[in-house]
Structure 1
Amino acid sequence: MIPATRNKRKRFKRTRLLFRFILLLFMAFTLGLIVLLSYTRMQGPPPIDFALPTQYLASDGTIIGNDEDGQNRFTITLDDMAPYIPQATIAIEDRKFYSHYGFDLKRIGGAVLANIQSGNKAQGASTITQQYARNLYLSHDKTYMRKWNELLYSLRLEMNFSKDEILTGYLNTIYYGHGAYGIEAASQLFFGKSAKDVTLAEAAMLSGIPKGPSYYSPRNDLPRAKARQELILDSMASVGFITQAEADEAKKEQLAFVDQAATEAQEIAPYYQDHVKALINQQTDFDEDRIGTSGLKIETTLDPAIQAKAEELVDTHMPDSELQVGLVAIDPRNGEVKALVGGKDYEASAFNRATQAKRNPGSTLKPFLYYAALESGFTPMSTFLSEATAFSYDDGREEYAPRNFNNVYADDYITMLEAVAYSDNIYAVKTHLSIGTSELVSVGENVGLGPFTERPSLALGAQPVSIIDLTNAYSPLANGGKQIEPIFIRSVTDTNGTLVYEQKPPVRQVLHEDTAYVLTHMMQGVFEPALNSYTSVTGGSVAKQLTHPTAGKSGSTPRDSWMVGYTPQLVIGVWTGYDKDKEINQTESQVAKRIWADLMEFSMKDELKLPFKKPAGVEYATIDPHTGLLANDACPGGRQTAFLQGTAPIQSCSSPEAAEELQEEPEEKKDGFFKRFFKWFSIEDGDPSQPDVLEEDEEFELE
């Protein structure tokens, strides 16, 4: 009896010790859990902000570029997803998601046991919350320390955010392969549609990819991806999200994947994107770093077809040399910039010549001079003598002797219509001095050019302007005199869809509509070989390419070549030249014109052939362009020309004496025209120590 009693006592003691040990363990576990939960609670909510790439969209909604290392990522809410997406994700990844507290002890225990048996850490047991925590804060290293930190972050997430918020964050951050982060990017990548519109079969296919983005990608191995899709459909049926019949029907659905080449975001218009980023930096509180990592959606005004063609033409026409290019295309009706090229090779030089460089515009500035002349009482038939001329100014202390290209002069009187078409420099300078040098300065400022200095050579574009400013300055000529600041951005929205910025500059009436129309009608003559006389029209080499009513002006200096022209729907400006002081040759001087003509014709091929809108206050007369008189049988083949109301000629070619009355008196005549009207201007606003330099001011047109 005694030994039995002793054995009982020993067993009782052991049981009591074991109970005490278990109790102590439980108390320690409880205390540790309390400490852990208190610690995580004290830590507060972890930051859930992550770098989201800013996305640039063309005017048609296509992607033209992404910031942040080329990642493709969007943020959407659960309401913006098809309900099958969260259901499929929960069914395959974490069926107890809505009942656990961030981790699943049963799954963890099973994973630990499997890892012990296999001798490695290959088996995972991460819940959706843990995966989300890892995506936000941790690496993917398979270490116990990483798993511990993952657990801590998971607890903090569960304590501070709802299950729906966690699931939303997970679905927006998980990687689906091919650069796509989040369900919306994946849906667009594989199916070309929003996550809101995917079918059950598509949702199951997408939900199977994150397990192994390369391994289960339907682009890499469709049979393997299909097998996982079917597994997910069965899992959804087993947990009651769908019926088995629905699962079987979804398995039969033929999935239509988007072609990979079609979905890869083409990085086009890098100079354009740089300028858009600079505008947002200037106009909002987003600095450059935040612009690229805040997940902004920037809808631009860029036309991807015109931009792609512009870049193609630059590649085609630009010679294999250091010759550079700048190009801008603007819709004059609303100011939207449809294309921009800032150089021949962005990788070689990110300097944006279209917006940052300033170059002498040459004869492309003349339209604004002739606008001022029309406003001062000139007409398209006003005449000056085209001959070699030296102009003195600054009270006779300085002399300016511009020349025409190849020293070709009419040695006769020519009309303004001819002067525009031939780009006659002598006519331009005489006009400039006749109306007063301040007039061109004033018109230039009205259309956004300048500031300019009053000097004779300004008539020939001897002061620099930017390519975008000059191109935009032509818009009022195309749209009835209205000026709009170039618009690159339609809207900028943040990740919540809230409007952050939109570019809505004011519209200003800067030119008289009737005068702008008369000037435009003259500038169409640049492309009319019928006007050829002592020389050829400057746009004759590309005239046959143009199928729509088009006006324009070419210009050149020893170091610059320009072509700016417009239809009622589009203004295009092209500049070519060298970055450093190097002159262009005759062959290189034609490149700008060829790029311009090819791009204009491409851009207009599907547009209506709209005439420039004739305003009130304009009349037409059929004129002999060489005499400036009404055409008749004696002077057949006249040109219908626009005039301001009441200024059209009333005399015909049959009255030679009338023609003489319209001509200026020769300069060498005592007290002649120039003595009476050119008071040989001193340059009041200029720097007398810097006289006009012939090399900079020579104007030449090369055809």
Structure 2
Amino acid sequence: MTAQRPEHLTPGRVASHLGVMLAVAAVLGVVVAGLAIPFAGVVGIGAKNVAETMDQLPAELETEALAQRTQVLDEDGEVIATLYDQNRVNVQLTDVSRMMVKAIVAIEDYRFYQHGALDLKGTLRAFITNQASSGVVQGGSSITQQLVKLTLVDQAKSKKEQAAATDESYARKLRELRYAVALEQRHTKDWILERYLNTAYFGDGAWGIQSAARHYFDVNAKDLNLKQSALLAGLVKNPYGYDPTKFADRAVARRNVVLDRMAELGIIKERRADKIKDRKLGLKVQATPNGCVNARAPFFCDYVLNYLQKDRSLGRNVKERRELIFSGGLTIRTTIDLDAQAAADEAVAAAVYPEAEAIGGLAMVEPGTGKVRAIAQSRPMGSDRSIGQTYLNYVVNQKYGDSAGFQPGSTFKVFVLAAALEQGLPTSTSFNAQPQMEIPEYEYEDCDGEPYGYGTWPVGNSTSSGYMDMYRGTRESVNTYFAQLEMETGICEPYQLAKAMGVDLTNPEGKGPGLPERVPSFVLGIPDASPLEMAEAYATFAARGLHCDSRPVVAIEDARGNLLKEYPAECQQVLQETTADAVNDILRGVIEGGFASAQNLGRDAAGKTGTSQSGRAIWFVGYTPNMATASMIAGANESGTPKSLEGVDIGPTTIYGASGSGYAAPVWGNAMRGILDQLPAESFTPPSSVTNSGSFDDDGLDDD
């Protein structure tokens, strides 16, 4: 009886298979033998053209650094956020379990350590089998060839490059073959396998073997057992299709294929394979949060990102800096104190609810170092406005956040107070602070030395009136007292002093959007500022006149743990120590018998209340010798547009008679009491005589 030919192997199809075999042989001959062409031309591609195409390709494949995830750490080294474009942590081959190495080689390229860049036997076998089956049944690419493809896809910078890295043309195959030869010539087999394991995608957001081991099993790559290794080895063929978190049955079947292959090759006993095949996947999936939304301190994390993306030393532009941050495998060591952050979060959350038409914000800055210890706001990070979420950071300077700030009210009086003391005016300087006053038209000298007329200025008190000195005028926050004190100091020096102490004043004469800042009402806090700016400024008093720029980062390390950059304290003495001592003594009165006496901490502390015009924002900025904290509540709709706080339900209460002492000061007090056990009970230096130090120059620094 004549044997029947299988239906799928018709004469025409057999001829086609032979043609493909000849084409493969021709291509392989070119690659392996350089330009030695064993066949003249087959299936529409001439050997001469193949050789010319090979000649035009680069002789080497540049393997760029793989994208790795970045970790953001608190001051004690705990992870507060992970940032990545690809969730990958590179490991050396010696840090991958031997069973994992055996599993991946068995299923992907069992002769990897015997053949060169190309597995001729495996490639021909795969072509024949796949053509005979009218589909892809076997893969013929070696691990080196797979690495080339993964590398080209990973390094593609444009859609055109991505398409070229994945198309099914002979040109792409030839390019991969040439690069594979180059890789084998330049690198050891172990290097190639290590790179492959770190490059491969294992599904569900896990790039590289270490991230995959952590993600699926919560173990390190070096601790993967047989069952785990077989599963991961099976995923690289189709990371989505075999994803065990989505398609458990498929993942089990694929894992078992790997186990069978390992048994077939004699790597493990068949009975061991059968035993493992009967077991469940044993997943212990660990999510790896990405970005600031999932951070332990979302808005502090956001501040860190914006701070670093402004650092020109990290890249030529924002795009380069972002790529370094999200792909560089950095370790970013920050200044955040999680205990302080927790205290800040709790204090703000208890005072202002997320969905309220108000924003509660608080910042903590360490005097003498500029370290930002906490950033908190009442609206959590997210996109659901119905529950008060937002992505806008209202607490930090506008250049690092999303808000132009809010009017700080009488908290600005301290800049006129300090300028007066710097100019040699004694604390006994007294005025008759009438309830209502029309400050007559007078001329100040502009900061450039030119006279500048402001016209008359009507001003009234909202607290007390009478004949008073600096102590009483500050303790009772008397507007007409400070209006007269500002006539003595002029506007220029308090304005420059505020800038020197960290307030981002940029619109002195009102040119462009926003109100003019350098006007007589400056003393009443009409310029906009953020809680972070005000905490930084008041920290200068706590540090006896030493101003330190706020900083959320202390150092960055690269993927290998080498120091990339340090961010040391940047400090300048902008006030005499004796001036700061006098200010501290005066501001103690606000807490010790003044409007904020309910927030007395039982140790040395000083501060100032503030209420903006129309009650749109209320403040309390206070400090001990070792911590400065600014608390603010501002009226704002869901888009952040300012509005009056009068009658606004902020959650636990409705505001009537908006005042810094009544609503913002308790938030400050609760936050400070939350960390009081961590702060040494230090005392302010008692004030002594204050000498005249001259005026501030254009940089806001003392002429001396």
How far does residue 426 in structure 1 lie from its aligned partner after superposition? Answer: 2.0
CA distance in 2 between counterparts of 1:240 and 1:336 reads 60
SS of the counterpart of 1:119? coil
Determine helix, strand or coil for the equivalent of 1:180: coil
| Contact kept in structure 2, 1:371 and 1:519, CA below 8 Å | yes
- 2:34 aligned partner: 34
Distance 1:202 1:61, change over 3 A: farther
Q: Which residue in 1 is equivalent to 2:512?
A: none
CA distance in 1, matches of 2:321, 2:581: 42
SS in 2 for 1:487: coil
Deviation by residue 1:563-588 (Cα, 9 ceiling, x = unmatched): 43334245345463569986524245
Distance 1:37 1:212, change over 3 A: same
Of the candidates 126, 139, 151, which is equivalent to residue 136 of structure 1?
A: 151
The DSSP-based 3-state class of the residue aligned with 1:474 is: helix
Which digits, 9 at most, give the CA deviation of each residue in 1:423-445, with x for residues without a partner?
22122223333455555345334
What are the ranges of 5 or more consecutive residues in structure 1 without an aligned counterpart? 1-21, 619-643, 648-684, 686-703
Given the alignment of the two structures, is residue 552 of structure 1 paired with residue 621 of structure 2, yes or no? no
Counterpart residue number, 1:355: 397
CA gap of 1:432–1:272, structure 2 versus 1, over 3 A, is same
- Confirm or deny that 1:125 pairs with 2:140: yes
Please show how residues 235-250 of structure 1 align to structure 2 within 5 Å: none
Establish whether residue 62 from structure 1 lines up as the match of residue 62 from structure 2: no
- CA distance in 2: counterparts of 1:44 and 1:497, whole angstroms: 33
> Deviation of residue 299 (structure 1)?
0.7
2-structure distance, mates of 1:519, 1:248: 80
Aligned to 1:331: 366
Q: Deviations over 1:538-594 (max 9, x none)?
A: x46x738x7986543332322544343334245345463569986524245859885
Distance in 1 separating the partners of 2:243 and 2:483: 69
User: For residues 441 and 27 of structure 1, do their structure 2 counterparts lie closer, same or farther at Cα, with a shift above 3 Å needed?
Assistant: closer
Instruction: Work out whether 1:425 is the aligned partner of 2:479.
Output: yes
Give the letter for the 2:455 counterpart. E
Q: What secondary structure does 2:683 align onto?
A: coil
* Deviation (angstroms), 1:67: 4.9
Match of 2:180 among 143, 150, 154: 154
Indicate how the Cα distance of structure 1 residues 397 and 46 shifts in structure 2: closer, same or farther if over 3 A, else same: closer
Structure 1 partner of 2:323: 293
Q: CA separation in 1, counterparts of 2:688 and 2:303?
A: 43
Aligned to 1:391: 439
Aligned residue identity for 1:608: D
What is the correspondence of 1:37-436 to structure 2 with a 5 Å cutoff?
Answer: 40=54, 43-49=58-64, 52=67, 55=70, 57-59=72-74, 60-62=77-79, 64-68=81-85, 71-78=86-93, 81=96, 85-138=100-153, 143=168, 145=170, 150-192=176-218, 195=221, 206-214=232-240, 217=243, 219-220=245-246, 260-261=286-287, 266=294, 268-269=298-299, 271-280=302-311, 282-294=312-324, 295-296=327-328, 297=330, 299-301=332-334, 303=336, 305=338, 313=348, 317=352, 328-340=363-375, 353=394, 354-356=396-398, 357=404, 359-375=406-422, 384-388=431-435, 389-394=437-442, 398-405=455-462, 408-410=463-465, 412-414=466-468, 416-435=470-489
Letter aligned with residue 283 of structure 1: S
CA contact (8 A) 2:362 2:629 kept: no
Partners of 2:176 and 2:369 in 1: CA distance: 53
List aligned pairs for 1:567-606, cutoff 5 A.
567=624, 568-574=626-632, 576=634, 583-587=643-647, 597-598=666-667, 601=670, 605=674
Q: Compared with structure 1, are the counterparts of its residues 445 and 143 closer, same or farther at alpha carbon in structure 2 (3 Å cutoff)?
A: closer
Separation of aligned partners in 1, 2:283 and 2:190? 29
- Counterpart residue type for residue 486 of structure 1: S
CA 1:318 to 1:554, structure 2 compared with 1: closer, same or farther past 3 Å? Answer: farther
Q: 2:6 corresponds to which residue?
A: none
Counterpart Cα distance in 1 of 2:427 and 2:227:
70
Q: 1:272 to 1:83 in 2, by over 3 A?
A: farther
> How big is each residue's C-alpha offset from its partner over 1:321-357, in whole Å with a ceiling of 9 and x where there is no partner?
8766765433335322344479957769877653222
Deviations 1:624-653 (A, max 9, x none): xxxxxxxxxxxxxxxxxxxx2489xxxxxx
Q: CA deviation at 1:174?
A: 0.8
Report the aligned-residue RMSD. 5.0
Q: Give the TM-score, by structure 2 length.
A: 0.67
Q: Which has the larger radius of gyration?
A: 1
- Bigger drift between 211-220 and 223-232 goes to 223-232
Counterpart Cα distance in 1 of 2:430 and 2:307 = 46
* Alignment length (residue pairs): 587
Q: 1:315–1:251: structure 2 CA closer, same or farther, 3 Å change rule? A: farther
Q: How many angstroms does 1:200 deviate by?
A: 7.1
Cα distance, 1:95–1:554 mapped onto 2, change above 3 Å: farther
**Deviations 1:270-316 (Å, cap 9, x if unpaired)?**
74255134323x33334222233342225152648566887895798
Aligned to 2:599: 543
More divergent stretch after superposition (392-401 vs 483-492)? 392-401
Paired residues of 1:85 and 1:203 also in contact (CA < 8 A): yes
Deviation at 1:117, TM superposition (A): 4.1
Indicate the residue corresponding to 2:683 in structure 1: 614
Shift of 1:368: 2.9
Please tell me whether the aligned partners of residues 177 and 213 of structure 1 are also in contact (alpha carbons under 8 angstroms): yes
How many angstroms does 1:461 deviate by? Answer: 2.4
State the alpha-carbon separation in 2 of the partners of residues 599 and 218 from structure 1: 49
Deviation of 1:175 after TM superposition, in Å, equals: 0.8
Percent identity between the two aligned chains = 26
Q: Secondary structure at the match of 1:444?
A: helix
Separation in structure 1 between the aligned mates of residue 26 and residue 578 of structure 2, nearest angstrom = 93
- After superposition, give the CA deviation of every residue in 1:356-383 in whole Å (9 maximum; x if it has no partner): 2255432111223333445566677765
SS in 1 for 2:310: helix
One-letter code of the match for 1:474? Answer: Y
